[in-house]
Amino acid sequence: MSGTDEGPVGPHRQIEGKCAASGGIPVTKEACRIVTTRRKRVLLFATKLGYQTRSFQTAADKLSVELAYVTDRCSRLDDPWNDRAQAVHFELPEGAAGAVLEAQRDLPVDGILAVGDRPTAAAAYVARGLGLMHNHPASVEACRNKARMREVMRDAGVAVPWFQVVPLHPVPEPALLGIRFPCVLKPISLSASQGVVRANNRDEFIEGATRLKRLLDSPEVLATRERNRDRMIVEGYLDGREVAVEALLSEGELRVLAIFDKPEPLEGPYFEETIYVTPSRLPAEQQFGIEVSLRQCVRALGLTHGPLHAEFRINERGVWPIEVATRPIGGLCARALRFELPGEAETIGLEELLLRHALGYPSATATREEAASGVMMIPVPRSGILEKVHGEEEARATACITGLEITARVHDHIAAWPEGSSYLGFLFARAEEAAEVEGALRAAQAKLRFRITPRLPVEHPVTHTFSRKDNA
């Protein structure tokens, strides 16, 4: 079917049974008549350094959807990336939402998505103001605060380790607080395992707390205006294997999209993540237990609609939620996920699936492809200035490797964990079996070499403090 059909709201181009105005979704001729000529419009809340915005833009172009960006970049810059993004302060979510609602007063908004942890609360307030289906702001705020999330889960009977909120000024004496070892020290609001440290005894506790305090007082973190910089959460260390779960909520109905195994043992003292592989090789009963635990978390937190990224520990005592975030998987990791839609010859990415979901387009029948896939977040071996990358072509030529993206910029400083939160890059693999994917990622990483040199102390122009010499 091609040509133009004059309907009650004007002409619509139709090609092979798909209406261009509906985002290319297969529809009947009559259904296409009632689709408006206006392009659908989605607000995308993202940090100025978010990796995923380009992937969302590609998906939006494919669906003929307009993306309107809301970011935390400097409001004094005159559209430096030529994307007409609205600049707001995500650390003040209600104020940010008010500014966005005012700016969108006379504009159509058909859906809302948030990428990364910091924009999620502002997005929730805007969705509530516009009457769009979304999680309640209070639920999203609880997910952003590790202490509050633990309290909510504990009170709802969800399995959580012991935990305690502890002030960082001055650095506390663990013996006076009844702290047991081993334990884990965490900032309350940061993400990507930044600042997370395991302590096995008093000396490690004092060292970890001092290091966390220094991180939270650093110019880089101060610039984010994150709340709760004067406190940390201390909780019991959980042994066992760790997994990540990607899921989607549709008006209270939970659908697990993928369970990622994390083959690397995350035992500390720091918790930089590396390999994600799906489908999971855990026994079916453990995978079922993970889904049950996620449903308990969703119910406890009052979550109802939108993407979820959650992490769990599994040991002989059961399944333990580490975190639940109201946003999709971060960085470029979403490229490891491809989904099949009935009637579609090509698979779609997670970003397209989420756009369809946000707009109410049919997506409930989308299933992850049969092939195993995975991603490696290339770890940072030490802090310093990235001078050179070797072995990229050899890594790309490794069997089953489907992509390599070096995201760290040459001649820029990159921080190792626990101070760090950005990786050197991402490796992607696809094969018939999960074990092949893991092996390919490890083989490709072994061919990469990064020359990193120490950074000399430099005085900060605002705080007039000196940066610490790397590896000193």
Domain extent listing, the chain: 4-133, 162-236, 372-472
Q: Is the dihedral of CA 101, 103, 109, 111 positive or negative?
A: negative
- The CATH class of the 372-472 domain is alpha beta
Contacts of 223 (CB under 8 A, 6+ apart): none
Q: What is the torsional sign of CA 49, 420, 148, 324?
A: positive
Cis status of the peptide bond prior to 269, with omega within 30 of 0 = yes
Q: Which residue has the tokens 């205006």?
A: 225
Question: Is the per-residue pLDDT at 37 higher than 80?
Answer: no
CATH number corresponding to 4-133: 3.40.50.20
Query: What homologous superfamily is domain 162-236 in, according to CATH?
Result: ATP-grasp fold, A domain (3.30.1490.20)
Mean pLDDT of 250-262: 97
Q: What pLDDT shows up at residue 225?
A: 87
Mean per-residue pLDDT for 273-283?
A: 98
Across the range 266-277, mean pLDDT stands at 97
Question: Does the pLDDT of residue 466 top 80, yes or no?
Answer: no
pLDDT band at 458 (very low <50, low <70, confident <90, very high): confident
Q: Which residue in this structure is represented by tokens 């009844």? A: 178
Whole-structure pTM over 0.85, yes or no? yes
The CA–CA distances, whole Å, from 282 to 180, 285, 315 equal 30, 8, 12
The two tokens of residue 120 are 């999620």
- pLDDT, residue 468, reads 67
For residue 169, count CB atoms less than 10 angstroms from its CB and return exposed for 0-12, middle for 13-18, buried for 19 or more. exposed
Q: Give 72-114 pLDDT, tens digit per residue.
A: 987 666 666 667 899 999 999 999 999 999 999 999 999 999 9
Per-residue pLDDT averaged across 402-426, rounded? 97
